[in-house]
Amino acid sequence: MPSARLIVDHDFIISDLDRRIFGTFVEHMGRCVYTGIFEPGHPTADDQGFRQDVAELTRELGTTIVRYPGGNFLSGYNWEDGVGPVEKRPRRLDLAWFSTETNAFGTNEFMDWSRKVGVEPMFGVNLGTRDHDEARRFIEYCNHPGGTELSELRKSHGYEKPHDIKFWCLGNEMDGPWQIGAKTAGEYGRIAHETAKVMRWVDPSIELAACGSSNRDMATYARWEYEVLDHCFDYVDFISLHTYFQNPHDSTEEFLGNIELLEAFIREVVAIADAVAATRRSPKRIMLSLDEWNVWYKARTHEHLRKPGWPEHPPLIEEVYNTEDALLVGGALITLLNNADRVKCACIAQLVNIIGPIMTEPGGAAWRQTIFHPFALTARHAHGRVLRSLISSPSYAGKTAPEIPYLHACVTEDETTGQVTIFALNRHLGEPMDLEVLLRGFGGNRQVVEALQIHHPNMKAVNTKDAQDTVAPAPIEKVSLEGDRLQARLLPGSWNVIVTAPR
């Protein structure tokens, strides 16, 4: 039976945790908005048409910030289409997803929904078909108190107070040839600079994210990040990362090695951003926003990406998640926590139906996909600061990464409550793992207050409308804490959370 050891010290800190890493993403694509978060006439819908079953699951998920309205949709979107009287809004062809957009849901509806659910909004501005002038008009509409044409227009739409949206994305995946209005790094860097400049003139309190590469495999990766930041370094706070984990080897062992690729991606982009800072002799540090990430490889064919005839909100890329997907999502969250000094925001894509942790049936039920559970447990228990862990674990060689440790783990401490939480993924699929954790400097009089695992003997097991809890959290059977020494037996192929607190 393999064994692993984790040593953590109260005084060795990576960073305070920015809880915006527990973000999600709502795009006008498929059934994410329509029959997802918004379905007038649904048995649970409120007076604005917001599905309350989805709202409750969003709260349970622990979502802190939500990116809107796209995504690829953003690069052809006119924000003016989605404000004002619904009956006067235009119907448009959406060239991103070959659908018809009714614009029955827009900026103000999203803001109402986000306030009711209790999440922070993250908005994007269209830098595909539009430019810095559209962006400064949009932020004036949303954030200016009053006395101007656009702020008064907002008031006439029933919103006296400004929306006060603080986090803005400067376009979406502008390096991608699939993007409406795709640009070179020089073209995009220049317009990002000008857009950021005028947006800050309208509202100096905002935070701005520039587009990084659409994924790490892009031919222009790394050069794109450097050139873009070389243009707009002084005006932005974040560079974005996008990654979707795939399983080309049809192997759970190789699939879980994707976690090592995420670690490399983060470290590389940090190095590039700091190199741009070095050329300026600048102490400023650009932070990272992983504002699109998830598992996505099963629903990737042409039929999943578009439907004929320009339909309204057709079902698109509705990935059904299984046990191994939940393990990978839990492992990716551990990586984000261990990079809390630079990763300050992240959005799992998307919230509902479209590669989402929540699934719905039009007019019917809503349920938790397998990946819902590690996300919700991490969001519930990861508070305060992330501690630096020393891990000793056996490993295995892989094609995805040359060396893949069986144990992937992190530790957080909430100094307000005294809780110390261990998150641990056992990537050994054949045997349980005996884990020893030394908790140094926390005081010996502690107890385990919760110990849960995500595990199923079938790596392809899924949750469905009729079997919603096939893969769900269950107690860890063998766990003990004596003094500063915690011991636990982790089942093969399991993701685990162990919460300790003072007695």
> How far is it, in rounded angstroms, from Cα 115 to Cα 55?
11
Our measurement of the distance from residue 238's CA atom to the centroid of its chain's CA atoms, rounded to an integer in Å, reads: 15
C-beta neighbour count of 97 within 10 angstroms: 25
Q: What's the N-to-C CA distance of the chain in angstroms? A: 32
> How far is it, in rounded angstroms, from Cα 425 to Cα 374?
11
> Which is the catalytic residue, given 80, 101, 173, 194?
173
Residue type, 274: D
CA nearest 245: which of 396, 377, 371?
371
Does residue 292 carry a catalytic annotation?
Answer: yes
> How far is it, in rounded angstroms, from Cα 397 to Cα 395?
7
Q: What is the DSSP letter of 151?
A: H
Transcribe 440-484 into DSSP letters.
Answer: ETS-S-EEEEEEEEE--S-TT-B--SSSTTSS--EE-SSEEEETT
Residue with tokens 């894509």: 349
Does residue 109 carry a catalytic annotation?
Answer: no
Q: Is the dihedral of CA 68, 71, 77, 82 positive or negative?
A: negative
Query: Do the Cβ atoms of 426 and 492 come closer than 8 Å?
Result: yes
> Which is the catalytic residue, given 292, 319, 324, 450?
292
| CB burial string 410-441: b at 16+ within 10 A, e below | bbbbbeeeebbbbbbbbbbbeebbebebebee
Task: Give the residues across from 497 on adjacent strands.
Answer: 423, 452
Positions marked catalytic: 173, 292
